[in-house]
Amino acid sequence: MGVAALMAVAVGEDITPRARAQLVGADHGRVVPPVPIPNLAVRCADGTSATLDALVRGHVTAVHLMFTGCSTVCPIQGAIFQRVQALLPDQRSTRIQLLSLSVDPTGDTPAAMRRWLERFNARDGWIAAAPSFQDLNVIWDLFGQGRNAVENHTTQVNIIDRRGQLIFRTPQLPSADSIADILKRV
């Protein structure tokens, strides 16, 4: 499916029957019905504590799962988010944010997450956070579609609307252009 069709699906526009058929049974596309983000405690890269739902509410948020010790696809995802930020110079005024959500709550300390963000020259509007170990399965169920790190190192980006609801999942390793386009249209 092309980027235009994916963007249309993300914002709820009608798409062709053929494009819609490609989404049936797919692990990406529009999430229907939207799924509210749970009230889970997270530790942020700046050392503060928050809840996941409070972090995303009021923003259009792109979320990817990562861990700072990863040397395979996580750095690629970080580079993609770095490019997304370059494509969104008005990110602050449009209330669009990026969230690198750790799946290694024991290893990803605030200092490690700060280094992760610094590695990619993250600006305001790109945050990193880690849930508690006991909430990790909830994160995998929501953003990893029930898979765990051993079964699948997911490279999808999840889109959350301003109401704090998961509304869209990209295909694996989406382009920065497609992520930025979807974020602008939500």
Q: Is the distance from CB of 85 to CB of 91 less than 8 angstroms?
A: yes
CA torsion sign for 70, 76, 79, 81 is negative
Q: Is the distance from CB of 45 to CB of 114 less than 8 angstroms?
A: yes
Domains in the chain, number = 1
Q: What is the pLDDT of residues 108-119, one digit of tens each?
A: 999 999 999 999
Residue 160 confidence class, pLDDT cut points 50, 70, 90 = very high
Residue with tokens 């249209």, as numbered in its chain: 185
pLDDT of residue 26: 55
Average pLDDT of the segment spanning 124-137? 94
Residue with tokens 């390793």, as numbered in its chain: 173
Dmax (CA) of the chain: 48
Q: What is the pLDDT of residues 47-79, one digit of tens each?
A: 999 999 999 999 999 999 999 999 999 999 999
pLDDT of residue 146: 55
What ranges make up the beta strands (E) of 52-110?
A: 60-66, 96-102
Q: Measured between alpha carbons, how far is 68 from 81 in angstroms, rounded to an integer?
A: 14
Average pLDDT of the segment spanning 79-95? 93
Strand, coil or helix: what is 78?
helix
Q: What is the pLDDT of residues 18-56, one digit of tens each?
A: 333 333 345 889 999 999 999 999 999 999 999 999 999
Its domain, for residue 67, covers: 3-185
pLDDT of residue 93: 86
CATH number at residue 141: 3.40.30.10
Global confidence as pTM:
0.84
Q: Measured between alpha carbons, how far is 79 from 182 in angstroms, rounded to an integer?
A: 18
* 155 φ/ψ angles, rounded to the nearest 5 degrees: -120, 20
